[in-house]
Amino acid sequence: METILKRTRTPQTWKERLDGRLPEELEREIDIFETQVELRRRGEMDERLFAETRLRRGVYGQRYDNGHRYDGLKTRQLAYPDVATKGTDTVWDAPGMVRIKIPYGKITTAQLELLAELAEDYSDGIAHVTTRQDIQLHFVHIDDTPNLMRRLASLGITTREACGNSVRNVTACPLAGVCQTEAFDVSPYADALKTFLLGHPDVQDFGRKFKVAFSGCAEEACGLTNMHDLGLIARTRISESGGVQRGFEFYVGGGLGAVPHQAKLLDPFVTEEALLPLSQAVSRVFARLGEKDNRGRARIKFLVAKLGMEEFRELVEAERATLPDDPRWTAYLGELERDVEAPLREPVPLATSEEDLSKSFHAWRGTNARRQRQAGYHTATVNLPLGDITSDQLRLLAGIAREFVGDHIRLTVEQNILLRWISESDLPALHRALTGADLGAPGAETIGDITACPGTDTCKLGIASSRGLAAELRKEFVQLDGAVDESVKSLRIKASGCFNSCGQHHVADLGFYGISRKKDGRLVPHFQVVLGGKWSDNAGSFGMATLAIPAKRIPEVVRRVTDLYVSERENGETFQAFISRFGKAEIKKFLQDLAPIPSYDEDPSFYSDWGDPREYTMEDYGEGECAGEIVPLVEFGLQSGEREVFEAQLHLDAGSADLASRLAYKAMLTAAQALVKTELLDITEDPGDIVGEFRSRFHDTGRFHDRYAGAKFAAYLFRAHEEEDGDGSELPQQLARSRVEEAQLFIEAAYRCYERMGTEVTV
Amino acid sequence: MTALPLDSPELSVKYFVEDSSAVRVEELIPVFHRWIRESVLEDELLIDVANYAHVPKGPGVMLICDLGQYGLDLRHGRPGLRYRRRRVAHASPQDRLAETFRSAIRAGSLLADEPALEGRYRFRTDEVELVIYDRLRAPSALGTLEAVSPLLGSFVTQLYEDPAVSLELTSRSNEPFAVRITTQEAPPLRTLLSRL
């Protein structure tokens, strides 16, 4: 009877519903995060530490979360009833964003359906595809994030290290595996590196974020490896034995931001066996030598530029030589074929005559469909306006994919979704199905398919409305209904809300980033015009900043520059060559008359931004979280110990004495390990090693000794270690309680020791 | 104790516009900004306006609040004023229903009277959509409809002073539970508001 009752009882929470159905490690991580949320809410976890912790779980701030907002006339306080914070100047109840990593954009139909649910249940019914193959949900309350993460984990998705100073989503060409020009499919390598680096101890102490991208070839744009911290391009060569050997051109130090850097070649051919260890070595050098104080110069590109490639390479090689062997470096190579995609349907040629196909199908196929390397198959791009898709559309798309391609779906860095392995004969039916879901718009990867970061819509750092501008430009191109000159059709427009380049404006033919200018004491939203960036050749070169133009005149800039290109281009001249030939001075002269700002009386519309009728201000500009918080590794360790003591207390209260005492012991080990790591980064997880190193480095030297209690607190750890190592008998409740109390005292002693260490600490 | 569907704090109520052709969703943007500036909804903490006008059949233009979201919603191609209550756990199901209906009806009345919209936004009251965004407590199934019907039916009957209330499950199994409420009576929004 009891069993039946258990079975029929409706789970009250997602934790209950998904109990035992999540990967163990993810389940544990999320439980820990939920505890940290609770600790912070009670004020028992440091605000800065919690901020970096949540960022590393993909839980990001959003505009106005400092509790202030300009309403068009004045800045007013948003009077949240609860004054708790989730970071410096970040109100607990203020809506935030959750970034969900979709490694190399590979996503399944079930995952699309899950995202539909999550967008509905916790956000605003919209999933946003980012320029790095992530999904973002906005207006999410932090209290909902643990359950949101559990539901993601049920389908193998994590938000871990989606933000903060960590290895962000590993991206790759969405055509990987089906591309005409690739050396080989980079997907399994991207997967292996993603898995290897996720949560790896060597990537937990970066001064800034670290982005990795894979490309199957050098010529196309899709991988954008030149603008990444670590860029990998597939290469093959003939080995000494005469066989084909796979490897990668290995680039480091690329990046956009305010100061864009082209990635530099570290090694022209890194074998597949050497890919993971070399990436690990680069990570360790970055963690050790990268800037930590000046956030504006903390990306690896600055370290590479400072040292020069030769010295950087030497450091990496030296680091590589010291790395202890790790079986994971090559274990995945035996499984490269594991995830090779099998098409859902046989390849059948299109039987319908071209004349019988609709005009809209022709337009869509011309821009959105592409032949695969595999004969008879195509890919099709689902063109999303501003990267946004509704929950209903996600469900419909999942159904369409199930019918035509199965789980062969990728997100793209142009904020679209790619369906792969479509039999040619299915293209008309697929287009009809997509059109039925309002997803059949043509113009993918053309001038009208505009990329934009969130900008002032939701980003704290946004200066101008990149989405508002993109929506306006998109509207104009939709009205043109494809009637643009062939020469400009494939140009790219990309807009960022500020100089930080999340919209990737540097590598667009026509790029724009938000700035502001003043006229008669009033601020006016502007965009800096950046022309001639190269999207192809993996983001081959950066554009030229020309001049600042009022936001409301940017559509005129686009019309004028594209018209000029159509009329003045010389035979076959690329847009980059054209802009280069004209030169900055001429372009500036050509656009100069658009720069003056009319007075407020003449035209007040210039004083508000696209899609936002409020009079423009910079007062909503906040402190961004892109840079995360610099929190020394030791503080994470000490906080973990503290959290484990908290959990031990909960077990004790629930009558689980044995669990409580074990967790209390573990808490002391964690804190001791954190201290040891300040001197020995590679300390193992073995309790014997940790206790041994702690004893020799902190106890025997007297550094851990309390001013009044002497070695008393260290003795708590030693005794617990001996007992845990003993006969395995359970501690009675009273002794378990003492163990938990001792662990609490040990953690506090560890904090005091850390404080005394002061400036000695380098890790 | 097993939770009931209406125990969920996550409810929405949508009143459909009478004339879809009159809707130009982006014109709601300045209206909602003004509502924030003038604290038009005095008991709400109004935060921001979210514009999804570019997404077909999407959430349209939304007014984001601390405890809920208002929006001129375009879902299923049927524009309407949706109010979604969030994050209120402690009121009774009856109170939550009343609060959600009251917020939706009040916002609908304000839009209908909004000078900038020139009276083009009128809402029919004989059809309402109620959604529960809680897949644990309120899966999209007939069982949920049966569970919510007594309380919901009685609430609407009382609100509309109409015994002929009909409830119909409209959501698919993978969607949030949605029920179409139809009534014979179609009192004006103001009248409904006065009864809450």
**How many folded domains does chain A comprise?**
5
A628 pLDDT tier (thresholds 50, 70, 90): low
Report DSSP letters for A453-470, one per residue.
--GGGT-TT--S-HHHHH
Lowest pLDDT segment from A38-42, A302-306, A400-404, A649-653: A649-653
Which pairing describes strands A612-615 and B68-73: parallel, antiparallel, or unpaired? unpaired
Tell me: the pLDDT tens digits for A263-277?
999 999 999 999 999
Mean pLDDT of chain A: 92
Contact criterion met (CB < 8 Å) for B54 and A64: no
Decide which of A558, A581, A615 is a domain's last residue. Answer: A615
Contact criterion met (CB < 8 Å) for A64 and B45: no
Residue A488 shares a structural domain with residue A584: yes
A389 touches chain B (CB under 8 A): yes
Contact criterion met (CB < 8 Å) for A388 and B176: no
Q: Report the DSSP beta bridge partners of residue B72.
A: B61, B81
What span, in angstroms and rounded, lies between the C-alpha atoms of A651 and A346?
A: 57
Non-local (6+) Cβ contacts of B41 within 8 A are B35, B65, B70, B103, B106, B107
Q: Distance of CA A753 to CAs A479, A637, A739, A758, B101, Å? A: 67, 13, 20, 9, 58
The percent of residues above 90 in pLDDT, for chain B, comes to: 90
The sign of the dihedral angle between the CA atoms of A11, A13, A17, A20 is negative
Q: Copy the structure tokens of residue A143.
A: 């209290």
Residue A714 shares a structural domain with residue A657: yes
The Cα of A382 is separated from the nearest Cα of chain B by a number of Å equal to 13
Decide which of A282, A307, A335 is a domain's last residue. Answer: A335
Question: What is the pLDDT, as a whole number, of residue B1?
Answer: 44
Of B110, B121, B119, B125, residue with least CA distance to B13 = B125
Q: Which residues of A touch B139 (CB under 8 A)?
A: none
More confident residue, B50 or A297: B50
Residue A202 shares a structural domain with residue A279: yes
Q: Is the pLDDT of residue A575 over 70?
A: yes
Report DSSP letters for A432-496, one per residue.
HHHHHTT---S-TTSTTS-EE--GGGT-TT--S-HHHHHHHHHHHHHHHTT-S-HHHHT--EEEE
pTM of the model: 0.89
**Start-end of H helices in A56-125:** 109-122
Distance from first CA to last CA of chain A, Å, rounded? 57
A626 pLDDT tier (thresholds 50, 70, 90): low
Residue A652 shares a structural domain with residue A743: yes
What span, in angstroms and rounded, lies between the C-alpha atoms of A759 and A748?
A: 19
Find the CATH number of the domain harbouring A713.
1.20.120.330
Rg from Cα positions in chain B: 16
Q: Which residues of A touch B66 (CB under 8 A)?
A: 78, 80-81, 93
What span, in angstroms and rounded, lies between the C-alpha atoms of A420 and B27?
A: 39
Amino acid at A220: E
Residue A520 shares a structural domain with residue A417: no
Q: Which residues of B touch A462 (CB under 8 A)?
A: none
Residue A328 shares a structural domain with residue A195: yes
The mean pLDDT value for B172-178 works out to: 97
Residue entry with tokens 């997880």: A685
Find the CATH number of the domain harbouring A380.
3.30.70.3340
Report DSSP letters for B37-60, one per residue.
HTTSSTTS-EEEEEEETTSTTS-E
Residue entry with tokens 């050749």: A537
Q: Is the pLDDT of residue A401 over 50?
A: yes
CA angle A528-A532-A534, nearest 5°?
A: 120
Rg from Cα positions in chain A: 28
Helix, strand, coil shares of chain B as percentages rounded to 5? 35, 25, 40
Q: Which residues of A touch B174 (CB under 8 A)?
A: 113, 116-117, 395
What span, in angstroms and rounded, lies between the C-alpha atoms of A36 and A42?
A: 10
Contact criterion met (CB < 8 Å) for A78 and B47: yes
A615 touches chain B (CB under 8 A): no
Q: Is the pLDDT of residue A3 over 50?
A: no
The mean pLDDT value for A740-749 works out to: 88
Report DSSP letters for A229-264, one per residue.
SEEEEEEEEE-TTSSEEEEEEEEE--B-SSS-B--E
Tell me: the pLDDT tens digits for A288-344?
999 988 888 899 999 999 999 999 999 999 999 999 999 999 999 999 988 889 999
Measure CB to CB from residue A395 to each of B2, B48, B174 and give the nearest one: B174
The Cα of A334 is separated from the nearest Cα of chain B by a number of Å equal to 38
Q: Report the DSSP beta bridge partners of residue A249.
A: A233
Q: Is the pLDDT of residue A58 over 60?
A: yes
Tell me: the pLDDT tens digits for A412-469?
999 999 999 999 999 999 999 999 999 999 999 999 999 999 999 999 899 999 999 9
Best B12, B27, B54, B64 residue to mutate vs chain A (most A CBs within 10 Å): B54
Question: What is the pLDDT, as a whole number, of residue A763?
Answer: 40
What span, in angstroms and rounded, lies between the C-alpha atoms of B132 and A378?
A: 40
A736 pLDDT tier (thresholds 50, 70, 90): confident
A61 touches chain B (CB under 8 A): no
Residue A363 shares a structural domain with residue A324: no
Residue A518 shares a structural domain with residue A645: no
Residue A186 shares a structural domain with residue A324: yes
In a domain, A281, yes or no: yes
Q: Is the pLDDT of residue A617 over 80?
A: yes
Residue A390 shares a structural domain with residue A496: no
CA angle B43-B48-B53, nearest 5°?
A: 120
The percent of residues above 90 in pLDDT, for chain A, comes to: 75
Contact criterion met (CB < 8 Å) for B37 and A79: no
The Cα of B85 is separated from the nearest Cα of chain A by a number of Å equal to 12
Find the CATH number of the domain harbouring A282.
3.30.413.10
Report DSSP letters for B132-188, one per residue.
E--TTTS-SSHHHHHHHHHHHHHHHHHHHT-S--EEEE-S-TTS-EEEEEE-S----
Report DSSP letters for A135-199, one per residue.
EEEEEE-GGGHHHHHHHHHTTT---TTSSSSSB-PPEE-TTTTT-SS-SS--HHHHHHHHHHHTT
What span, in angstroms and rounded, lies between the C-alpha atoms of A460 and A463?
A: 9
Q: Is the pLDDT of residue A758 over 90?
A: no
Residue entry with tokens 């530029």: A305
A1 pLDDT tier (thresholds 50, 70, 90): very low
Of B81, B38, B83, B52, residue with least CA distance to B65 = B83
A227 pLDDT tier (thresholds 50, 70, 90): very high
Q: Is the pLDDT of residue A399 over 90?
A: yes
Residue A12 shares a structural domain with residue A108: yes
Of A71, A60, A78, residue with least CA distance to A619 = A71
Q: In sequence order, what E strands does A258-336 have? A: 264-271
The complex scores an ipTM of 0.97
Decide which of A374, A401, A436 is a domain's last residue. Answer: A436
Q: Is the pLDDT of residue A470 over 90?
A: yes
Measure CB to CB from residue B48 to each of A9, A69, A116 and give the nearest one: A69
For A745, the domain range is 633-760
A280 touches chain B (CB under 8 A): no
| Cα A678–chain centre separation | 28
Q: Is the pLDDT of residue B70 over 50?
A: yes
Phi, psi values for residue A149, rounded to 5°:
-65, -40
Residue A416 shares a structural domain with residue A491: no
Tell me: the pLDDT tens digits for A93-145?
999 999 999 999 999 999 999 999 999 999 999 999 999 999 999 999 999 99
Measure CB to CB from residue B176 to each of A71, A120, A386 and give the nearest one: A120
The Cα of A78 is separated from the nearest Cα of chain B by a number of Å equal to 7
